[in-house]
Amino acid sequence: MAIVLLVNVIFKKEKARLPLPPGPKGLPIVGNIRDVPKSHEWLAYERWGRVFDSDIIHLNLCGTPVVVVNSTSAAYELFERKSSLYSDRPRMTMLNDLVGCDWHFVFMGYGDRWRERRRIFHQHFHPSAALQHRPKALKGARVLLYRLLETPDDFMTHLRHMAGALIIGVAYGLEVQPKDDPYVATAERALHAMAMAGNAGSFLVDYIPILKYVPTWLPGAGFKRKAMEWRKSTTAMVEVPYKAVKKAISDGIAAPSMILSLLSNIDIEEDENAPRLEKLYSGVAAAAYTGGSDTTVSALGSFFLAMLLYPEAQAKAHEELDRMLGNHRLPDFSDAPSLPYTTAIVQEVLRWRPVTPLAVPHRLTQEDEYEGYRLPAGSIVVGNSWAMLHDEKQFPNPSAFIPERFMTADGELNPTMKDAELPAFGFGRRICPGRNLAYASLWISIASVLAVFTIVKKVNEKGEVIEPRDEYTSGLVTYPLPFDCIFKPRSETAEALIRTALDDVE
């Protein structure tokens, strides 16, 4: 026993002498706080990885150690193989305390509260359960086609409506209005707030939590005024649709949904545990919306942009769809095995412009070692999905949109590239639990749009082509900045298919 203790002490002393991962040299006290850009931080982290020739880098943000993981191999080693050490979350003071998102299990610390919520969510969104929601995803894609035909300039609005209708239908059983739906609008405001508040490194209060107590009138306290406004939006997203479902249940008109299923197991009037369960269920349902809708909107926006910038990829997809489907019907989920190039486009969209370039931060619960570097306990560990998905070793010419990278020479999906785009959904035990439904919605939407439209660049009144800008917002979730395009029906038959698309879906 004494020998074991001695070896343990020696091991700990040796580990303590290991160097920290490389990174930019910081200033006294504040460390690297001035080195981290206020937007698009993932690009700086990727650049530092190249400068220091390391797949992990270390930053000191006002005394808080931050480790950025830039490679899939490091991500696997830390987040997968050592998931018990890396599954916790930092407190995220701005998002959880000030903006009030402590109900969201994605941002919760690893423990019983997280497990309870994750288990409830998984019951309704695991792969087999996600199959049951495919009819709603198919209907959403068909509605999207019609709206793109009728009012193509509002394509981003149509994407938000489609994504919102799917998740609101699954989680709450509520129907959304064709235009200016209040539930979609409420959720969009909350999603914006969460994307801004949850972006790693954006707010100093995340590294100096005591700053949350400064008065709102104090110079430099603008973050608190922002948080007060954002909190209104996140609170409304939890409460407004939940109250609508409860009223529908009371009126006897509630449609099947996750909330209806959960509430059917409790007596709201008699069960003394009902208030806690209602708070629990309303939070899980709101988390479902935030996890599904933003992925779909961002990724489809990137898909439209990619088709403008890389028309040769669009032409190849058209050829595949015409060869497999003819021109007499629209694709459905059963067509996926015979449409490998279309699937490769979906994978490349997720790789080319990842929805969350920086994953939600993890927290290291005890000191660890990686490749001869010491990782201090309490470190905030951030997976740089952008760097992983733009790694030239795995993805040659990473800035280009090349679906063929996911295929073999004989035109089939490359099994060695299966799930290569997964860093877009997070890591380890914290990987996005709603990714199956999000992917299904993305696949059927892309296949349907390609079947009937050619997406082309707009031309101004002088006959000059309007080149789209390939620029993105910065935040936890990123979106393409506004650009113009035209959705041109590929034929009269295609237009007829669009106008009758809803006849064969539930």
Note whether 455 and 154 are within 8 A (CB).
no
Q: Cα(404)–Cα(397) distance, rounded to whole angstroms?
A: 12
The 10s digit of each residue's pLDDT in 443-493 is: 999 999 999 999 999 999 999 999 999 999 998 899 999 999 999 999 999
- DSSP codes joined into one string, 439-491: HHHHHHHHHHHHHHEEEE--B-TTS-B-PPP--B--SSS--BPP---EEEESS
Q: Cα(47)–Cα(30) distance, rounded to whole angstroms?
A: 21
Q: Which two tokens stand for residue 389?
A: 């998905």
CATH number, domain of 176, equals 1.10.630.10
Q: Which two tokens stand for residue 479?
A: 């979106």
Average pLDDT over residues 272-288: 92
Residue 27 domain boundaries: 2-504
Q: Which amino acid is at 440?
A: A
251 φ, ψ to 5°? -85, -5
CA 371-376-381 angle, to 5 degrees, is 80
Q: Is 364 helix (H, G, I), strand (E, B) or coil?
A: coil
Longest Cα–Cα distance of the chain, Å, equals 86
Helices (H), 28-133: 41-51, 72-75, 83-86, 93, 112-125, 127-132
Beta-strand pair 362-363/368-370: unpaired
Q: Which amino acid is at 134?
A: R
Q: Is 306 helix (H, G, I), strand (E, B) or coil?
A: helix
Note whether 335 and 325 are within 8 A (CB).
yes
The 10s digit of each residue's pLDDT in 144-188 is: 999 999 999 999 999 999 999 999 999 999 998 878 889 888 888
Burial letters for 300-339: b for 16+ Cβ neighbours within 10 Å, e otherwise?
Answer: bbbbbbbbbbbeebbebbbebbeebbeeeebbbeebbeeb
The 10s digit of each residue's pLDDT in 364-407 is: 999 999 999 999 999 999 999 999 999 999 999 999 999 999 99
Q: Tell how many helices (H) and how many strands (E) occur in the chain.
A: 18, 8
More confident residue, 269 or 368: 368
Cα pseudo-dihedral 490, 491, 492, 497, rounded to 10: -60
Between the alpha carbon of residue 255 and those of residues 171, 173, 174, 248, 411, the distances in Å are 10, 5, 7, 8, 43
pTM of the model: 0.91
Name the band, by pLDDT with cuts 50, 70 and 90, for residue 201.
low
The 10s digit of each residue's pLDDT in 66-113 is: 999 999 999 999 999 999 999 999 988 999 999 999 999 999 999 999
Q: Is 5 helix (H, G, I), strand (E, B) or coil?
A: helix
Q: Cα(423)–Cα(259) distance, rounded to whole angstroms?
A: 30
Name the band, by pLDDT with cuts 50, 70 and 90, for residue 292.
low
Note whether 383 and 67 are within 8 A (CB).
no
What is the model's pLDDT at position 424?
Answer: 86
Dihedral over Cα of 111, 88, 360, 222: its sign? positive
Cα pseudo-dihedral 197, 203, 208, 213, rounded to 10: -60
Q: Cα(111)–Cα(350) distance, rounded to whole angstroms?
A: 30
What is the model's pLDDT at position 70?
Answer: 98
Between the alpha carbon of residue 489 and those of residues 51, 92, 331, 498, the distances in Å are 48, 47, 16, 9
What is the model's pLDDT at position 479?
Answer: 94
Helix axes 274-309, 435-452, angle to 10 degrees: 30
Judge whether 101 is annotated as a binding position. Answer: no
Confidence check: pLDDT of 294 > 90: no
Q: Which two tokens stand for residue 57?
A: 């880098």
Mean pLDDT value across the chain: 92
Total domains present in the chain: 1
- Please state the separation of Cα 476 from the chain's center in Å: 8
3-state SS, one letter per residue, for 376-391: CCCCEEEEEHHHHHCC
What pairs with residue 61 in β-bridges? Answer: 31, 64
Name the band, by pLDDT with cuts 50, 70 and 90, for residue 293.
confident
